[in-house]
Amino acid sequence: MKKNLKITILVLSIILISMSVYFIGTKKVIEKNPIQAESIVGCYVAHLAKDVYSLEISSEVGENIQGKFDIQNAEKDSSTGTIVGTYKKDIILADYTFQSEGVESINWVAFKKIRNSFVRGYGDVGAETKTQNIDLNKITFDTSVVYSKTNCTAF
């Protein structure tokens, strides 16, 4: 009987030690390789009547993003340009440097990620045109125009 008790204690000890080693090893793997958010690099297109809006995120390094944003209006001035900004908590906030009617301008743009798509934000945030002073609480995101992810060769 004492022999069976010693064997049982020995087996349980081996199991506990093995489980401890496994969980410690698993924790170290998780710490070294945290779950990373899905990259937003890619192309997104929205349509409103005959207008076509295209957003291309070409680079995402940490919170910094770069890309292109084009507004092709059927009956108004169109614009095409680049965006440089940040992507934090599902929000792109970027400076949009664009050409329209031969004039270069800079304005801010905001986009919010919803599943695999984006919606654009609008708001009266004051006279500042650069993103560093934008109050996100003053931006309303228009969910009626959805920028859906698409193949970049499509545009």
Q: What is the pLDDT of residues 34-60, one digit of tens each?
A: 555 789 999 999 999 999 999 999 999
Q: How far apart are CA 92 and CA 109, in angstroms?
A: 8
Query: Looking at the whole model, is its pTM more than 0.75?
Result: no
Task: Write the single-letter amino acid at 127.
Answer: A
Q: What's the confidence (pLDDT) of residue 142?
A: 93
Residues 77 and 150 placed together within one structural domain of the fold: yes
Range of the domain at 135: 42-154
Beta partners for 107? 96
Number of domains in the chain: 2
Neighbours of 58 (CB within 10 A): 14
Task: Please write the tens of the pLDDT for every residue from 24-35.
Answer: 655 554 555 555
**Dihedral angle at the C-alpha atoms of 60, 63, 64, 69, nearest 10 degrees?**
70
Summarize pLDDT for 99-146 with one digit per residue, the tens: 888 889 988 899 999 999 999 999 876 655 555 567 788 899 999 999
**What is d(CA 19, CA 77) in angstroms, rounded to the nearest whole number?**
66
Shared domain for 137 and 112, answered yes or no, is: yes
Statement to judge: residues 69 and 135 lie in one domain: yes
